[in-house]
Homo-oligomer: A and B are copies of this chain.
């Protein structure tokens, strides 16, 4: 919904003035449009583009070096007047003649045609190029009737580059017509737009539906379906466009994936990822493609794909440097037909243990991680339900994912011959990386702190386990800022640490010391049902958590129980 508006009648004029102020390094304001602030060489062909407002960056954002010399902005969705075109074209004229560039809409055709005739009568050689790229707007055999849409960007950019190179008016006109003849756009819309000052949308697409080929001012489309997945949408757009490949089009193309306003960059990038294989499988090489907002329609939701079939000259002109408000590029170096892939992620080199005791210790750590993974996976649903009573219900999933990744990383480290410190460090990193969220980060940091108490050359013993456990608790407390009583995992961790250390001091064997501590830990975890949270979700979820234990405390106590069982089975010193 278009929300920012002063006097609706002056929306386009205010927007023009604000634009010209922000981009004063590139353009200067004239009545009804903008002209480059740093004029080009005398004698150069001038490109003057224009159309209705409401489509930024079309057309004011196209003014700049290597692109248009001037733009003429009409009212919202209305053609600029003949007089505005005349006035601005006269001022932009550098002695080399004028190309008027606009989309093929009745009002624009009328006003630009009259202006062209008047300019010619005044002795300014003037040519017109109306873009006709929208293949949904008329059948192929009536191509001259088609509307101009996102093809404006590449067609005008190519014309601007040709003019910048110093081509004559005849040459620039010919290139422009050639580029337009090799440019095709196909688009979909998810919803209409609101005119400034209006409460209702100018036109609608039903919720959950997608209008195929709908025009940017609501001109009738050709079909309507349910909203498609990114994959299916990519297929629809590519199939329709590639079916209309121009004769002799060749195998080198560029593409412009355009968002209409409320369809955002990341959605366009998701769609682009799905488009790439369609173009490549059809045998095309894609040169310097774009995805972004190049011609919008206020807050309309939707997107279009434009393909330009290049030849050597069009490719050179498409890649030429450009410096406008909407589009800057300086492809001076490197090849842009294929990205340089990053080197594959190299797993950190594990510290290889030189001792059998160390390797044996590493295997023990990996076994514990494996058992934790099994237990958390089994408890995933239950932990999720406890969490959902007070939070967003993803705790069980995060713990299961994290422990699974940790177990796999531990095994890989064992295979590489790592000792207990390296195995636990690898497991810790994998846990945090895969579990995500705050609890994933805390578990990863805690386990990593635990690992620093181990020695890769020796099996873990009671002393190193106690030191590791305390380091883990201190790390989590420092990072999470939680104290016992705050209804977090600390309520289960703190009694585990204290009881385990007490039991060891009393001379209890390690497995018994831990198992006793794990029981205390689980009791404390269950007792969190009588607490209210102090941190994090406290403000929003405080009330909802009443009477339910904290999921993080429960899962910590559960892990403590599993570790106790393993310690008993392993009979460590």
A→B interface (CB under 8 Å): 1-6, 11-12, 14-22, 24-25, 28-31, 35, 37-38, 53-54, 56-57, 61, 74-75, 78-79, 81-84, 86-87, 106-107, 110-111, 113-114, 118, 190-191, 196, 199, 208, 210, 227, 229-231, 233, 261-274, 276, 288-291, 293, 296, 298-299, 301, 303, 323, 328-331, 333-334, 336, 338-342, 345, 429-430, 432-438, 440-442, 444-445, 448, 479-480, 536
Known contacts A22-B291, A107-B437, A261-B262; 14 additional CB pairs below 8 A are A2-B267, A11-B270, A12-B266, A15-B270, A19-B265, A21-B289, A25-B329, A29-B341, A29-B342, A79-B437, A83-B433, A84-B433, A196-B270, A323-B330
Instruction: Report yes or no: B28 in contact with A340, Cβ–Cβ below 8 A.
Output: yes
Q: Which residues of B contact A437 (CB under 8 A)?
A: 78-79, 107
Nearest-CB distance from A325 to chain B (Å)?
9
30 contacting pairs across A/B (C-beta < 8 A): A1-B191, A2-B267, A3-B227, A4-B230, A4-B271, A4-B303, A6-B229, A12-B266, A14-B230, A14-B274, A18-B270, A18-B273, A19-B266, A20-B339, A22-B289, A22-B290, A24-B336, A28-B340, A37-B340, A78-B436, A81-B432, A81-B435, A82-B432, A82-B445, A83-B429, A87-B345, A111-B432, A199-B208, A263-B299, A264-B299
Closest residue on chain B to residue A480 by CB atoms: B110
Instruction: Report yes or no: A340 in contact with B107, Cβ–Cβ below 8 A.
Output: no
Nearest-CB distance from A527 to chain B (Å)?
26
CA distance A191 to B301 in the complex (A): 15
Q: Which residues of B contact A87 (CB under 8 A)?
A: 345
CA distance A267 to B195 in the complex (A): 11
Q: Which residues of B contact A86 (CB under 8 A)?
A: 429
Instruction: Report yes or no: A35 in contact with B4, Cβ–Cβ below 8 A.
Output: no
Nearest-CB distance from A276 to chain B (Å)?
6
Q: Which residues of B contact A323 (CB under 8 A)?
A: 330
Q: Which of B53, B82, B230, B336 is in CB contact (< 8 Å) with A444?
A: B82
Instruction: Report yes or no: A264 in contact with B56, Cβ–Cβ below 8 A.
Output: yes
Instruction: Report yes or no: A24 in contact with B340, Cβ–Cβ below 8 A.
Output: yes
Instruction: Report yes or no: A114 in contact with B21, Cβ–Cβ below 8 A.
Output: no
Q: Which residues of B contact A333 (CB under 8 A)?
A: 38
CA distance A269 to B4 in the complex (A): 10
Given A53-B266, A433-B83, residue A14 in contact with residue B444 (CB < 8 A): no
Instruction: Report yes or no: B444 in contact with A81, Cβ–Cβ below 8 A.
Output: yes
Instruction: Report yes or no: B264 in contact with A21, Cβ–Cβ below 8 A.
Output: no
CA distance A508 to B1 in the complex (A): 61
Instruction: Report yes or no: A107 in contact with B270, Cβ–Cβ below 8 A.
Output: no
Q: Which of B6, B38, B56, B291 is in CB contact (< 8 Å) with A231?
A: B6
Q: Which of B233, B299, B334 is in CB contact (< 8 Å) with A25?
A: B334
Nearest-CB distance from A13 to chain B (Å)?
9
Instruction: Report yes or no: B345 in contact with A4, Cβ–Cβ below 8 A.
Output: no
Instruction: Report yes or no: A19 in contact with B269, Cβ–Cβ below 8 A.
Output: yes
CA distance A293 to B444 in the complex (A): 35
Nearest-CB distance from A301 to chain B (Å)?
6
Given A263-B4, A267-B2, residue A28 in contact with residue B341 (CB < 8 A): yes
Given A342-B29, A345-B87, residue A230 in contact with residue B269 (CB < 8 A): no
Nearest-CB distance from A21 to chain B (Å)?
6
CA distance A107 to B437 in the complex (A): 7
CA distance A114 to B448 in the complex (A): 10
Nearest-CB distance from A483 to chain B (Å)?
16
Instruction: Report yes or no: A114 in contact with B445, Cβ–Cβ below 8 A.
Output: yes
Instruction: Report yes or no: A5 in contact with B230, Cβ–Cβ below 8 A.
Output: yes
Nearest-CB distance from A211 to chain B (Å)?
12
Closest residue on chain B to residue A272 by CB atoms: B18
Instruction: Report yes or no: A82 in contact with B441, Cβ–Cβ below 8 A.
Output: yes
Q: Which residues of B contact A199 (CB under 8 A)?
A: 208
Given A37-B334, A81-B436, A479-B113, residue A270 in contact with residue B342 (CB < 8 A): no
Instruction: Report yes or no: B5 in contact with A444, Cβ–Cβ below 8 A.
Output: no
Q: Which of B3, B38, B345 is in CB contact (< 8 Å) with A301?
A: B3
Q: Chain B CB within 10 Å — which of A82, A263, A288, A293 has the most?
A: A82
Nearest-CB distance from A286 to chain B (Å)?
9
